[in-house]
Homo-oligomer: A and B are copies of this chain.
Amino acid sequence: MKCAIILAGCGVYDGAEIHESVMLLYALSLKNAEYEIFAPNIDQFHVVDHLSGQVTVEKRNVLTEAARIARGKICDLKNLNPEKFDAIILPGGFGVAKNLCDFAFKSENMTVLPELEMILKTAHSLGKPIGAMCISPVILAKIFPHAKLTIGNDTDTTKALENMGAIHTKTNQGQVVIDAEHKFVTTPCYMLDASLAQIGQGAAALVDAVQHLIK
């Protein structure tokens, strides 16, 4: 199994959620699965001071910051060729909803970063499974009508997903929803109040389910 992982920066409030990203890579490593990490070479929507929670005046690049999680082994998202991978997986974090799409600001009227949308559509048309953690399922809901997925149990987000045409299933910590028709696997992670052990459980369950969907 060789997976492409797409990160949205480095940090829960303005980038990729670090725990979810690392637990995903750990679940893959435990299976001796290969992975390559990608992120878009764009400015972050903004930078949040994770101590104060306040937006700062800094500018940071999504690819450069995501490289922190990847220990430098990362490629520009524009070079992701879905043909070369068995599956694509997106961890969560506000960066997904701010940098990879604009769900954080426009809810169901969101748009997806064009290069990401193209990659996911190509992967899907090739029959490759797509895994999405935490808030990332909003991207699947937007691009693929009638996707079956989960973001946990948040009422407003569920409503927005359903307004985009998705079929939502409530889940608890560590659970996954499998859309066998679309080959999508989703898990709520920190969309629910969760321990890091539960994040690990969800990541492992997602990786398992993705592996079973690979042709």
Contact = CB atoms under 8 A, between A and B. Distances in A.
A69 interface: yes
| Residue among A17, A19, A63 with max Cβ neighbours from chain B (10 Å) | A19
Nearest to A50: B67
Interface string A2-17: 0000000011110101
Given A12-B68, A18-B18, A51 B63 contact: yes
A157 to B, nearest CB: 19
Contacts of A23: 22, 26
A18 B200 CA distance: 15
A175 interface: no
Given A22-B22, A25-B19, A63-B51, A11 B68 contact: yes
A19 B49 CA distance: 21
Contact of A72 (B28, B32, B50, B68): B50
A29 B195 contact: yes
B29 A69 contact: no
Interface of A: 10-13, 15, 17-19, 22-23, 25-26, 28-30, 32, 49-53, 58, 61, 63-65, 67-72, 74, 190, 195-197, 200
